[in-house]
Structure 1
């Protein structure tokens, strides 16, 4: 972020001195800001997409790159990082337009306000952000362990997704205050997951109609069709937002068991 701020100061100096003279004299750089699509302007004098940072708003131009344009639609309203070339071109309604020709576009990394604790030495847990999703990536060589997951921010992230790099999922349990859910995927037959809710002394299987339901997704390595035992892939479990919202504490407990544990 410091590098971007220093770059912005330099850019301002260039603009004041006329350093960005024309489309023939572009400035190549990388910058972070909020992306907005569907922008309208008088006389339709706009590319329709902008990036807005501290003290600047530029139009974004994707040229004929449909993949970048589609990615921008998905990232609308989010913080992004773009690389490319900034051009100053003459306008009609606006005397001069700053248009950024985009080479690459990706969601900006955000700080993950989660911590893991209490796991064994062979369990490795990493955190990452994918847009608005917070990923909890769990590797467990022994196939059986538990851990605590503590939030360090004022609230839980909007979407928390756990990825369990296991061969089988005999059981995955999430305990959040008074409510606990338990998911499983059978080791034979169709890999359809089941989900149970334990609230107080009540235990019952739940379906997608319940706000506490978690659908387990099997992701195989490469483009292979997922099957048990899952080699090189992972089980992806989105934590139900209702489960986290009902949690009066700032932590939850996770526990997992692999059919093929050592």
Structure 2
């Protein structure tokens, strides 16, 4: 199977260059990962390419965790976690020594997110902290949600470079859905 995939990719690469068409970034095979979830009915679909990986998390119970371990030499430049939940009461993302806790919602049409250092004091992160997560709350139409609970939407969390800088072997993602 692997040989067939490699042969197909090589054929597509040669064919595109023969016509003078450079391959698109999405033509690169995606980075490889092993994902382990706490619960059997949780799923994490991995997509993207070598530059950007998306992790689509679905959790029927609304409270769980996943360990994402890279099997290649390095992480892609960007990692985006999409949590398909109704609400985000608590999120903890950690990679080696870097860890951030967060909660997000929508008030008066604007996304509100709290972020902190996940220790016993939950020290708030400063707005310019390099560990700060980029969090968007999206409705099923892909636009900023009008409110929560979400119906078919997602919490989209882009990890900052600080999480991947030291090339950790794995990421730990833990979540609690407020509406579980």
Structure with larger RCO (C-alpha < 8 A, sep 6+):
2
SS of equivalent to 2:162: helix
What are the superposed Cα offsets for residues 76-113 of structure 1, whole Å, 9 maximum, x if unpaired? xx742xxxxxxxxxxxxxxxxxxxxxxxxx83152322
Work out whether 1:142 is the aligned partner of 2:61: yes
Alignment check: 8 A CA contact 2:92 2:100 kept: yes
Alignment check: 8 A CA contact 1:161 1:237 kept: yes
Q: TM-score, normalised by structure 2?
A: 0.81
What are the superposed Cα offsets for residues 189-211 of structure 1, whole Å, 9 maximum, x if unpaired? 5431122234898833231x221
Unaligned runs of 5+ in 1: 9-30, 34-50, 61-77, 81-105
Alignment check: 8 A CA contact 2:116 2:125 kept: yes
Work out whether 1:108 is the aligned partner of 2:27: yes
Structure with higher Rg: it is: 1
SS of equivalent to 1:242: helix
Structure 1 residue 163 displacement after superposition: 0.4
Work out whether 1:165 is the aligned partner of 2:84: yes
Which residue pairs with 1:32 in the alignment? 13
Count of aligned pairs between the two proteins: 173
Which residue pairs with 1:2 in the alignment? 7
Alignment check: 8 A CA contact 2:133 2:157 kept: yes
What are the superposed Cα offsets for residues 89-147 of structure 1, whole Å, 9 maximum, x if unpaired? xxxxxxxxxxxxxxxxx831523222111420120111001572100110000100012
When structure 1 is superposed on structure 2, of 115-124 and 160-169 the one drifting more is 115-124
Structure 1 residue 3 displacement after superposition: 4.3
Which residue pairs with 2:3 in the alignment? none
Q: TM-score, normalised by structure 1?
A: 0.58
Which residue pairs with 1:197 in the alignment? 117
| Cα separation, partners in 2 of 1:151 and 1:219, compared to 1, 3 Å | same
Which residue pairs with 1:92 in the alignment? none
- For the aligned residue pairs, the C-alpha RMSD in angstroms reads 2.9
Structure 1 residue 233 displacement after superposition: 1.2
Aligned partner of 1:232 among 137, 149, 152:
152
Unaligned runs of 5+ in 2: 1-5
